[in-house]
Amino acid sequence: MPVRVLIPGPLRSYTSESSVVAASGESLAAIVDELDQRYPGIRFRIIDEQGAIRRHIKFFVNGVQAMNLQPRLQDDDEVMIVCALSGG
For residue 21, the minimal CB distance to other proteins (Å) is: 17
Tell me how far, at minimum, the Cβ of 84 lies from other proteins, in Å. Answer: 7
- The distance from CA 71 to its chain's CA centroid, rounded to whole angstroms, is 12
Contact (CB, 8 A) for 57 and 84? yes
Min dist CB 58 to other proteins, Å, is 10
Task: Count CB atoms within 10 A of the CB of residue 44.
Answer: 11
For other proteins, which is the closer residue by CB, 13 or 74?
A: 13
> Which residues fall within 8 angstroms of residue 50, CB to CB, at 6 or more apart?
none
What residues make contact with other proteins under the rule CB under 8 A?
Answer: 8, 10-11, 40-41, 44-52, 54, 56-57, 83-84, 86-88
